[in-house]
Structure 1
Amino acid sequence: MISHRTRMRAVSVVAGLGIVALLAAGCSRGGESGNPSESGAAAASPGITDDSITLGITTPLSGATAGPGTCTVAGITAYFGAKNADGGVKFGDGKTRKVEIKALDDAYDPQKAAANYDQLKDSVFAMTAGLGTPTNRAWREAAIADKVPQALIMTGDPIFSDQKQSPWQLGYVPIYQNEGEAFGKLLASSTDNHKVAILSQNDDYGQGYVEGFKKGIEGAKNIEIVKELTYEATDTSVDAQLTELAGSGADVFFNAMSITPLVISSLQKTQELGWKPSWFLPSNTSSPSAILEPGGASAFPGVYTVAFAQSAAAPTFADSEDGKTFLADLKQYADYPDTPAFPHCVWSYQVGATLDQVFQKMTEPTRDDFMKELRSVKDYVAPLMLEGSSVNTTEDGLPAVSTVQVQKYNGKGYAPATSWQ
């Protein structure tokens, strides 16, 4: 459940950001990206001046996905808030600029997301960090037509990392197929026989996870998929599907679900049914404190997910130097005083750090130059990454991060799972 305090905090953050961004947009220089000015230099694209750059975000700040959606704004706001307080980001053209954020709520509604993009596109330099596959897809073609970067967004849909299909786009998080495949391979390494039941969101999100999982277990004679059902992202209950799946006799439940309240109610409903399989959950709906604890996940023999970033809820996080800095920045610059329950706060903080790397390389204040440098980041270890993970934007067809590690819930947080336990 998203508390009233959290909702109010989200509204206050967005309101403040909107005021700052409107001021920045009012003094932004116009002109088409890459067109020469009278001096012979490339004319600045919308949303950038000699001393500021404005980024836009459309993401869910209300509704069922408001928790992770709020984090997509908070993390990047915290990162650039600290940079701005330190003077700003020094770009490759020698100018130092403050980075402003303008965020709008789409409530995980594709139509609202498209309307938000239309509202933002002429006043921001680039769109970034927003959560959701259907919501980001809703304005992808418009962004291509308008030549507006849709950079480092929070969706694992592989279409956003295909340069031919999406020349102005790049995803940040691993594609859904990578997550599903990693879990499939772990399960296939088991010496026991397993029956698997699958419930997936009936869209590219769910289909991507299932596709990856099936690839991971390909050729494994000890794995049998005994039942496979779907649900709609607009559904408020999946009790009927869970009842049917419980009758399958499956000992493993692959649940490719993106809606926080549905995951919690699914954990609770399966216990009511007396069905206690091992679970797999996507990285964006596997929060220990916000989902697993209220869902009673400790009742199951194992709950697995994948990760590439440190968890802010981990016991040692707040004691590390990077953890202390992150939590302090989040509180001071994003008005987010709590330890975040969702990984998206850390992810979007990393997005800010990655964009910082891109800005430092830009020699022209244009969207064209931004996209060129965006696709040149290699082996960058962003803050709070797990060992072995890094940002690499140079491979067509892959998002900025493509390395994942399977982890198992231990009642408080997650520990690495190198073999099926």
Structure 2
Amino acid sequence: MTFRSLAARVAALSAAVVIVATPVSAQKKYDTGATDTEIKIGNIMPYSGPVSSGGIVGRTEAAYFKKINDAGGINGRKISFISYDDGYSPPKAVEQTRRLVEGDEVLFMYTPFGAPSNTAIQKYLNSRKVPQLFVVSGSSKFADPQNFPWTTMGWLPSYRIEARIHAKYLLKERPQAKIGILYQNDDAGRDYLGGLKNGLGNEAGAMIVAEESYDVSEPTIDSHIIKLKASGADVFINIAAPKFAAQAIKEIAVINWRPLHILASFSQSIAAVIRPAGFENAQGIISATTMKNPGDKQWDNDPGMKAFNEFMSKDFPEGDKNDLYAVAGYGMAQMLIQVLKQCGDDLTRQNVLKQATNLRDFRSEVLLPGIKINTSSTKYTPINEMRMARLTGEKWELFGDVISSDVRE
């Protein structure tokens, strides 16, 4: 065989290998809920009920995904965002989730809202190997990859992480504090309380002088606030959902109690909490945050906040751009887009989970400088750092440096 004929056979064989290999390497993989043209995503939100103010998260996400679809979608696929109201009711959450998974056949669940609802659907989704991504709850039970590898992953720091950050702040700034705590009588409230005690360590017994829990069925929490004042507490930690957090702010003003007031981050919303409570009643409240506040003048020339404000004006004009729930919905939507981009043409549930647990130094445009998102197969808490902020006038003003919880979950 001549060299020329041998070279010709090698070239032909190589071409054959390319012809055979190319379709395999470019093969698309889909599970239920994904096609060449569509990605179905399921969601439940409290559009009604006691925490209906949280529904702005879902509405913001829907508007953001429409914006993405209008620009061509993700890798040529449009996002079908199917969101149902569960009224913050666990039985309704189960019903709507089954409808989404078994009826609508979504690829995965995304940002279901609240600890009660997510607790109710966690085992079901995990047993069916349906990812339950970026839940809108900071409960540590939603960061348990050993027992629930398919579910669940939050977005914001867990309640335990946030509580430890508050504890770290108090140990430094108010080591002689007498602390009174109001918390919701559920897993989320107890989780936050546990994180606070853990962060205070050996000082918890001496510093915490009173604890009051409330149920969401209570019409008012005024009596709890009166008891906390009577305890002699000079620091009040308000671990209440928006409706009750606003009530607490009002009642503190009515009874002329003047403690250092620390507010849980999930009730920072100007629109849902501070404005209803009265700006005059909320001055000096402090909280921890991870996000830029849209009402803060320091972000007027920030490219990320300019993009957010433009989105709100153009794509979601009925929304309130000063509502931190809208900021959170925008940030979580950007995080999901990153995951879907990383998935490429492998839109299986397993790969969606793989990419969600492989985010490296990702930054949403609305996160504060210095705060980045990192996940892994053993780390289901994307954010572990926060900054303190103080309510001044009609906006939150940042102070101090980024604070780490010192414990990675």
| Band of TM-score, shorter chain | 0.7 to 0.9
CA deviation map 1:170-209 (0-9, x unaligned): 1111100111111111111125622111111111111121
Show the counterpart of 2:66: 81
Larger displacement relative to structure 2 (380-389 or 300-309): 300-309
Deviation at 1:386, TM superposition (A): 0.1
Show the counterpart of 1:44: 30
CA contact (8 A) 1:305 1:406 kept: yes
Q: Is the partner of 2:43 in helix, strand or coil? A: strand
Q: Is the partner of 2:216 in helix, strand or coil? A: coil
Show the counterpart of 2:327: 346
CA deviation map 1:229-267 (0-9, x unaligned): 211122221122112111111111112111x22111211
Deviation at 1:215, TM superposition (A): 2.3
Instruction: State the one-letter code of the partner of 1:247.
Output: A
Show the counterpart of 2:49: 63
Deviation at 1:289, TM superposition (A): 4.1
Show the counterpart of 2:95: 115
Show the counterpart of 1:139: 121
Deviation at 1:300, TM superposition (A): 6.2
Q: Label 1:335 to 1:148 Cα distance change in 2 as closer, same or farther (>3 A).
A: farther
CA deviation map 1:260-307 (0-9, x unaligned): 221112111122222221111111112234322332454467311111
Show the counterpart of 1:16: none
Gaps of 5+ in 2: 1-23, 402-409
Q: Label 1:241 to 1:338 Cα distance change in 2 as closer, same or farther (>3 A).
A: closer
Q: Establish whether residue 199 from structure 1 lines up as the match of residue 179 from structure 2.
A: no
Q: Label 1:319 to 1:274 Cα distance change in 2 as closer, same or farther (>3 A).
A: same
Which of residues 318, 321, 324 in structure 2 aligns to 1:336?
318
CA contact (8 A) 1:194 1:222 kept: no
Show the counterpart of 1:217: 200
Instruction: State the one-letter code of the partner of 1:47.
Output: G
CA deviation map 1:7-35 (0-9, x unaligned): xxxxxxxxxxxxxxxxxxxxxxxxxxxxx
Show the counterpart of 2:217: 234
CA contact (8 A) 2:357 2:380 kept: no
Tell me, in whole angstroms, the C-alpha distance in 1 between the residues paired with 2:204 and 2:36. Answer: 62
Q: Establish whether residue 187 from structure 1 lines up as the match of residue 170 from structure 2.
A: yes
CA contact (8 A) 2:250 2:281 kept: no
Q: Establish whether residue 413 from structure 1 lines up as the match of residue 399 from structure 2.
A: no
Q: Is the partner of 1:163 in helix, strand or coil? A: coil
Number of paired residues? 374
Show the counterpart of 2:156: 173
Deviation at 1:318, TM superposition (A): 5.3
CA contact (8 A) 1:350 1:382 kept: yes
Normalized per residue, which structure has more helix?
2
CA deviation map 1:38-90 (0-9, x unaligned): 999675211111011011110111123222222x2133223322222221112
Deviation at 1:402, TM superposition (A): 2.3
CA deviation map 1:129-164 (0-9, x unaligned): 222011111111110111111111111112222111
CA contact (8 A) 1:158 1:397 kept: no
Instruction: State the one-letter code of the partner of 1:416.
Output: L
Tell me, in whole angstroms, the C-alpha distance in 2 between the residues paired with 1:202 and 1:261. Answer: 15
Show the counterpart of 1:53: 39
Q: Establish whether residue 100 from structure 1 lines up as the match of residue 80 from structure 2.
A: yes
CA RMSD after TM alignment: 2.5
CA contact (8 A) 2:44 2:93 kept: yes
Tell me, in whole angstroms, the C-alpha distance in 2 between the residues paired with 1:335 and 1:61. Answer: 18
Instruction: State the one-letter code of the partner of 1:165.
Output: N
TM-score by length of 2: 0.85
Q: Label 1:51 to 1:390 Cα distance change in 2 as closer, same or farther (>3 A).
A: same
Tell me, in whole angstroms, the C-alpha distance in 1 between the residues paired with 2:154 and 2:337. Answer: 16
Gaps of 5+ in 1: 1-37, 91-95
CA contact (8 A) 1:148 1:168 kept: yes
Tell me, in whole angstroms, the C-alpha distance in 2 between the residues paired with 1:187 and 1:405. Answer: 14
Show the counterpart of 1:10: none
TM-score by length of 1: 0.82
CA contact (8 A) 1:129 1:151 kept: yes
Show the counterpart of 1:292: 274
CA deviation map 1:356-388 (0-9, x unaligned): 222222242211111111111111111111011
Instruction: State the one-letter code of the partner of 1:382.
Output: S
Tell me, in whole angstroms, the C-alpha distance in 1 between the residues paired with 2:147 and 2:254. Answer: 45
Instruction: State the one-letter code of the partner of 1:161.
Output: A
CA contact (8 A) 1:188 1:222 kept: no
Q: Is the partner of 1:404 in helix, strand or coil? A: strand
Q: Is the partner of 2:66 in helix, strand or coil? A: helix
